[in-house]
């Protein structure tokens, strides 16, 4: 932002982040009925997995919020499917890890294909669920 120092911007951003984090902590503590340091560990794999399956690279960079939301719904459906089948918690985690690993493998293969000029893979589009714009038609579609 023009006219603001970098330090002031970083302090304001961190302050806003901490306010929102404290509200989220309070809501989680109220939901589970007690406060502990490990209360959110069960949600960690799912939230990171949703972002990874949504197409954000592990090495950093930009991601797509809509694709991450679709991936979160996908992982939630995987969890519900496991519950419906009576799978154990370990089996459900294994399925989530396989989905995350599959997304990473697809991203890596498509990035290599893009570097080699094979197919139409473009850097940053290698994701399981990704909204993209067709270059010739200008429409937005869902890519698997």
Confidence of residue 141 (pLDDT cuts 50, 70, 90): very low
Backbone dihedral region for residue 87 (phi beyond 0: left; psi -120 to 50: alpha; all else: beta): beta
**Stronger pLDDT, 122 or 54, i.e. the higher one:** 54
Is the domain of 33 the same as that of 46? no
Confidence of residue 119 (pLDDT cuts 50, 70, 90): low
Is the domain of 3 the same as that of 59? no
Is the domain of 29 the same as that of 70? no
Percent of the chain, pLDDT > 90? 8
| 110-142 exposure pattern, b = at least 16 Cβ within 10 A, e = fewer | bbeebeeeeeebeebbbbbbbbbeeeeeeeeee
Q: Which domain holds residue 1?
A: 1-39
Is the domain of 12 the same as that of 58? no
Tally of structural domains, the chain = 2
Q: Is the pLDDT of residue 44 over 60?
A: yes
Q: Look up residue 117 and give its two tokens.
A: 């000029």
Helices 41-53, 65-85: axis angle to 10 degrees equals 120
Pick from 53, 55, 71, 52: nearest CA to 123 = 55
Is the domain of 53 the same as that of 35? no
Confidence of residue 16 (pLDDT cuts 50, 70, 90): very high
Q: Look up residue 69 and give its two tokens.
A: 């939301």
Residue 89 has what pLDDT? 84
3-state DSSP helix/strand/coil % of the chain, to nearest 5: 60, 5, 35
Is the domain of 9 the same as that of 67? no
- Give the pLDDT confidence of 55-102 residue by residue, as tens digits: 777 777 777 888 888 888 888 888 888 889 988 888 888 888 888 888
């Amino acid at each position: 932002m023009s006219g603001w120092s970098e330090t002031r911007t970083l302090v304001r951003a961190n302050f806003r982040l901490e306010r929102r984090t404290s509200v989220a902590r309070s809501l989680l503590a109220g939901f589970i009925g007690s406060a502990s340091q490990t209360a959110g560990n069960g949600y960690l794999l799912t939230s990171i997995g949703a972002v990874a399956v949504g197409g954000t690279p592990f090495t950093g960079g930009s991601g797509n919020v809509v694709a991450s939301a679709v991936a979160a719904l996908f992982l939630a459906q995987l969890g519900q499917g496991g519950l419906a089948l009576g799978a154990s918690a370990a089996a459900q985690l294994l399925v989530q890890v396989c989905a995350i690993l599959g997304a990473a493998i697809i991203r890596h293969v498509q990035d290599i294909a893009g570097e080699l000029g094979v197919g139409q893979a473009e850097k940053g589009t290698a994701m399981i669920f990704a909204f993209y714009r067709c270059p010739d038609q200008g429409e937005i579609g869902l890519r698997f």
